[in-house]
């Protein structure tokens, strides 16, 4: 196992979590676990996770989101900028992501600061979405009250008429966020609840990671 290849080469090697499996960069290790879940987890949405935030009143809240990108220093997700989660992130720009792959006995927790993605990154991702999903981003007033399903469907019809067969630009109220981790924890299920846990922590982005094995 090399530092640049944290993903074990076979399912047999994926039965216990050892420090050397994780390398020195937790985001590289996380991408390895995510790829493994995508190819071996037999699940519809291996990129689904719980996004936990704090609302403007200081109360915790969580919901499931789909992670749509991971780069060298951040994890990306997308939403309506007028949604409840966006209002929470504006009030408190910190969040936590929790991934759990039950069939693999694996969990990853990521915590850090959150900031909007550059417009060009959100534009590029929006163009990859199915056409109806792009229209839906225009039609939905996410997190606001809705009188009936028929109202939503009527708004979708209006958007279809508005854009016709032409290009659908990204709505100004819709885009991405990047979570820059300060803490990443890897958890692997063990017999008799004697799980393996390793936490990567740093004080600020760009600094080195300190790795600690945790009691289960």
Dihedral angle computed from the Cα positions of residues 163, 164, 169 and 173, in that order, rounded to the nearest 10 degrees: 40
Q: Which of 16, 82, 129, 193 is flagged as catalytic? A: 193
Neighbours of 106 (CB within 10 A): 20
Distance CA 209, CA 199 (A): 9
Neighbours of 99 (CB within 10 A): 21
Residue of 19, 18, 24, 17 whose CA lies nearest to 3: 24
Distance CA 49, CA 159 (A): 30
Distance CA 155, CA 159 (A): 6
User: Which residues have CB under 8 Å from 87's CB, separation 6+?
Assistant: 55, 56
Is 106 a known active-site residue?
Answer: no
Active site residues: 193
């Amino acid at each position: 196992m090399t530092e640049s290849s944290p993903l074990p080469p076979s399912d047999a090697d994926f039965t216990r979590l050892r420090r050397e499996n994780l390398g020195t960069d937790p985001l590289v290790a996380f991408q390895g676990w995510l790829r493994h879940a995508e190819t071996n987890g037999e699940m519809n949405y291996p990129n689904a996770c719980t996004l936990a935030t704090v609302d403007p009143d200081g109360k915790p809240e969580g919901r499931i989101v789909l992670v749509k990108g991971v780069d060298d220093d951040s994890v990306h997700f997308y939403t309506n900028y007028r949604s409840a989660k966006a209002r929470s992130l504006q009030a408190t720009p910190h969040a936590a992501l929790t991934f759990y792959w039950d069939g693999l006995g694996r969990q990853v927790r990521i915590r850090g600061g959150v900031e909007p993605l550059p417009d060009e990154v959100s534009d590029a991702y929006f163009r990859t979405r199915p056409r109806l999903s792009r229209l839906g981003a225009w039609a939905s007033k996410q997190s606001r009250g809705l009188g009936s399903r028929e109202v939503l469907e009527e708004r979708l019809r209006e958007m279809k008429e508005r854009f016709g067969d032409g290009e659908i630009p990204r709505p100004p109220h819709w885009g991405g966020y990047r979570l820059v981790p300060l803490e990443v924890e890897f958890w692997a299920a063990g017999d008799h609840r004697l799980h393996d846990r390793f936490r990567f922590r740093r004080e600020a982005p760009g600094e080195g990671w300190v790795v600690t094995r945790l009691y289960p």
